Structure 1
Amino acid sequence: MGLYDEFHVCCEASDKDSALAAMAECEHDLAIVDISLNGGSGLNLIKTLRQNYRQLAILTLSMHDEALFAERALRAGANGYLMKQEGTEHILSAVRQVLDGNVYLSAGMLNRAAQQLMSNARGKSDQIAGITEREFEILHLIALGFGTRDIAEKLNRSTKTIEAHRANLKDKLQLDSGRDLVRFAIQLLGEK
């Protein structure tokens, strides 16, 4: 079995319209899309493909700097981003990964993404560093949708005590209203 025997290339297209026409002709497992297409953007093609073919694996293969375009391609609906200068083994690995339902990014992009996640987690942690354990517990209950009276019952405290904790939370988190506190709690701790 040769290096490429596991794959069959159905068609090629140089622009969005011919790519969409080719997609309509037969069933495809994977689309490899360049960011630069004749007369248009590969990002727009990716968005259209994702809307029309939800199960299609989409790999972006481009000469454009992944630091600038990989995130945009993923947001548009791609399952991976690969630079054109990568070796054949990387390309085949990327194709296999996206066909298996995984996301493919270079080691450098994975490292950047991990650093971003760690930075975001530290930022959230710093944001709530000054609140007490009881305030954190109340913030969590707010995120779960409990009101002041319900929280007071759950924690066996008076509603005035819970209201005081909520006021302290708004002050410590520099929030203007109870609605802002609820929004903050849901964004930080809400069930996904």
Structure 2
Amino acid sequence: MKQRILLADDHALMRAGMRALIDGMGHAEVVAEAGTGLEAVALVAEHQPDIVLMDISMPELNGLEALARIRRRDADVRVIMLSMHADEEYIVQSLRLGVAGYLLKDSATMELELALRSVAAGETYLSPAISRQVVDDYLGRLADSDGPLDRLTARQRQVLQLVAEGHSTRQCAELLNVSVKTVESHRANLMDRLGVRDLPGLVRFAVRHGLVSAEG
């Protein structure tokens, strides 16, 4: 049976390119495509793919938060994170959340097939370009205390991402289907917990911890 793949990337051209590569493999097929993290979570529940290829930087809900939700709902779904970033922070967070693979977007095309085959076989795949030191550092930090993001609730992390992406308070409220006052309360609690005094500080924190990309 062919591997059933869900593509999650906010760039339509990137999805089209990956779909063409996957269609040419013979052992895999794309069953759905998502343009946001929220859409990816919903489509995984609907289509129950074997593997999710997911961009780490997506609007509304980033790939890391989407990964966490997908894994909570169905631990059997294997997620390969796609990213332009070889930064330790992104990789460490992905590994902590149970990612099955981490593939850099500038990898050779044959690496995508290798990643899919490895993950389908139950292995964890990391792009060779990712430093061994990053993995060693991660293993050494497994027993460390929780990081700053772990002090936040899932909803607070989503509010933080939306704010960092430039959404207004009213836009955040509409996307989350809550009141403006609720969003304002979340933002105030975020600043208090993180020791941040202003909006630029929240944006810098979100970028530093991989909730949003500095490149947008």
Q: Normalising to structure 1: TM-score of the pair?
A: 0.55
Structure label with greater radius of gyration:
1
Whether the aligned pair in 2 keeps the contact of 1:44 and 1:76 (CA below 8 Å) is: no
Count residues in correspondence.
119
* Corresponding position of 1:75: 96
Picking from 45, 52, 62, the partner of 1:31 is 52
SS in 1 for 2:53: strand
Tell me the CA shift for residue 80 of structure 1. 1.2
Determine if contact 2:71/2:98 at 8 Å carries over to the other structure.
Answer: yes
Residues 125-140 of structure 1 aligned to structure 2 (within 5 Å): none
**Which digits, 9 at most, give the CA deviation of each residue in 1:115-169, with x for residues without a partner?**
549989xxxxxxxxxxxxxxxxxxxxxxxxxxxxxxxxxxxxxxxxxxxxxxxxx
Residue of structure 2 equivalent to 1:51: 72
Q: Which whole-Å CA distance do the structure 1 matches of 2:60 and 2:74 have between them?
A: 22
Q: 1:87 aligns with which of 97, 102, 108?
A: 108
Question: In 1, Cα distance between the equivalents of 2:98 and 2:37?
Answer: 15
- Rounded to whole Å, the distance in 2 between the matches of 1:33 and 1:18 is 11
Amino acid at match of 2:55: D
Task: Give, in angstroms, the shift of residue 26 of structure 1.
Answer: 2.0
Unaligned runs of 5+ in 2: 1-22, 142-216
Alignment of 1:104-115 (within 5 A): 104-109=125-130, 111-113=132-134
- Tell me which protein shows more helix as a share of its residues: 1
Among candidates 38, 42, 53, match of residue 17 of structure 1? 38
Higher strand fraction (1 or 2):
2
Q: 2:117 aligns with which of 74, 83, 96?
A: 96
Instruction: Please give the alpha-carbon distance, in whole angstroms, between the structure 2 residues aligned to 1:14 and 1:51.
Output: 21
What's the counterpart of residue 4 of structure 1? Answer: 25
Which whole-Å CA distance do the structure 1 matches of 2:139 and 2:34 have between them? Answer: 40
Q: Partner amino acid for 2:28? A: F
Q: 1:101 to 1:110 in 2, by over 3 A?
A: farther
Divergent runs of 4+, >6 A: 117-120
1:66–1:81 CA contact under 8 A, matched in 2: no
Which letter does structure 1 place at the counterpart of 2:99?
A
Root mean square deviation of aligned Cα: 2.4
Taking structure 2 as the reference length, what is the TM-score of the superposition? Answer: 0.49
CA distance in 2, matches of 1:118, 1:68: 13
Contact 1:66 1:82 (8 Å CA) reproduced: no
Alignment deviations for residues 25-67 of structure 1 (CA, whole Å, 9 cap, x no partner): 2221001111111223110000011111111111001112243
